[in-house]
Amino acid sequence: MSSVRVRFAPSPTGFFHIGSARTALFNWLYARHTGGKFILRIEDTDKERNSEEYLKVILDSLRWLGMDWDEGPDVGGDFGPYFQSQRTELYKAKLQELVKLGKAYEKDGAWWLRLDGKRSTVFDDHLKKEIEKVEAAPMVLDDLVRGRVERAEDRDFVLFRSNGEPVFHFVNVVDDIEMKITHVIRGEDHLSNTSKHLEIFKAFGVKPPEYAHIPLILKTDGPGKMSKRDRGALIEEYQNKNYLPSAVRNYLCLLGWTPADGKEILPIDEVIKQFELKAIHQSNARFDEKKMSHINAQTLRALPASEFVAIAKPILQNANILNDNVSDARLAEVLSIIQEKVNSLEHLPEFVGFFFNNDFKKDEAAFANLTKKGGEPTARVREILVHLQSIEWNVAAIEAAFNAAGTEHSRKPTDFFAPVRFAVSGQGGGAHLIGVLHALGRDLTLARLQSFIA
Ligand code: GLU
Q: Give domain status of residue 294, yes or no.
A: no
Task: Please state the atom number of ligand 1 nearest to the C-alpha of residue 176.
Answer: 9
* Residue to mutate (ligand 1; options 7, 83, 190, 225; most atoms within 8 A of CB): 190
Beta bridge partners of 107: 110
**Ligand 1 atom having least distance to the Cα of 43:** 1
207 and 254 share a domain? Answer: no
Atom of ligand 1 nearest to the CA of 23: 8
Residue 284 CA: distances (Å) to CA of 224, 233, 236 = 11, 16, 23
Checking 348-355 for CB contacts under 8 A at 24+ apart, the result is 348/242, 348/312, 348/315, 348/316, 349/315, 349/316, 349/319, 349/321, 351/427, 351/430, 352/316, 352/321, 353/319, 353/321, 354/424, 354/425, 354/426, 354/427, 354/440, 355/439, 355/440
User: Is 112 found in the same domain as 169?
Assistant: yes
Query: pLDDT at position 146, please?
Result: 31
**Based on the structure, what is the number of domains in the chain?**
4
Nearest-atom index, ligand 1, CA of 20: 4
Structural domain includes residue 41: yes
Cα of 116 from ligand 1 centre, angstroms: 26
Same domain, 103 and 160: yes
How many A from CA of 90 to the centre of ligand 1?
Answer: 19
Helix axes 433-440, 348-356, angle to 10 degrees: 50
Please tell me whether residues 103 and 192 are part of one structural domain.
yes
Rg (CA), the chain: 30
pLDDT score for 148: 31
Distance 43 CA to ligand 1 centre (A): 7
Are 326 and 312 contained in the same domain? Answer: yes
What pLDDT is stored for residue 132 in this prediction? 45
Residues with CB under 6 A from ligand 1: 9-11, 43, 172, 184, 186, 190
Could you tell me if 102 and 183 lie in one domain? yes
Q: Whose CA is nearest to atom 10 of ligand 1?
A: 10
Which CATH number do you get for residue 29?
Answer: 3.40.50.620
Looking up residue 406, the CATH number of its domain turns out to be: 1.10.10.350
Cα 160–chain centre separation: 36
Establish whether the linkage from the previous residue to 215 is cis, with ω within 30° of 0. no
Contact in structure between 179 and 166 (CB atoms under 8 Å): no
Domain with 328, as residue range(s), is 303-356
| Domain end among 159, 187, 214 | 214
Ligand 1 atom 3 nearest Cα: 10
Domain-embedded: residue 54: yes
d(CA 36, CA 21): 19
Index of the ligand 1 atom closest to the CA of residue 10 = 4
Tell me if 249 is assigned to some domain: yes
Cβ proximity of 42 and 83 under 8 Å? yes
CA of 41 to the centre of ligand 1 (A): 9
What is the spatial distance between Cα 384 and Cα 144, in angstroms, rounded to a whole number? 79
pLDDT in tens, the chain (454 residues): 689 999 999 999 888 999 999 999 999 999 999 999 999 999 999 888 888 999 999 999 999 999 999 999 999 999 999 999 999 999 999 999 999 999 999 999 999 999 876 666 667 888 866 544 444 434 433 333 332 333 345 678 999 999 999 999 999 999 999 999 999 999 988 988 998 999 999 999 999 999 999 988 998 888 888 887 787 889 999 999 999 999 999 999 999 999 988 899 999 999 999 999 989 998 889 999 999 999 999 999 999 999 999 999 999 999 999 988 899 999 999 999 999 999 999 999 999 999 999 999 999 999 999 988 778 999 999 999 999 999 999 999 999 999 999 999 999 988 999 999 999 999 999 999 999 999 999 999 999 999 999 8
* Burial 267-302, CB ≥16 within 10 A → b, else e: ebeebbebbebeebeeebbebebeebbbbbbebbee
Final residue in a domain of this structure, among 172, 190, 214 = 214
Measured in Å, residue 11 CA sits from the centre of ligand 1 at 7
In the reported structure, the alpha carbon of residue 31 is separated from the centroid of ligand 1 by a whole-number distance in angstroms of 18
**How close is the Cα of 9 to the center of ligand 1, in Å?**
5
Same domain, residue pair 194 and 98: yes
Indicate if 344 and 417 belong to the same structural domain.
Answer: no
Which of the listed residues 154, 188, 214 is the one where a domain comes to its end?
214
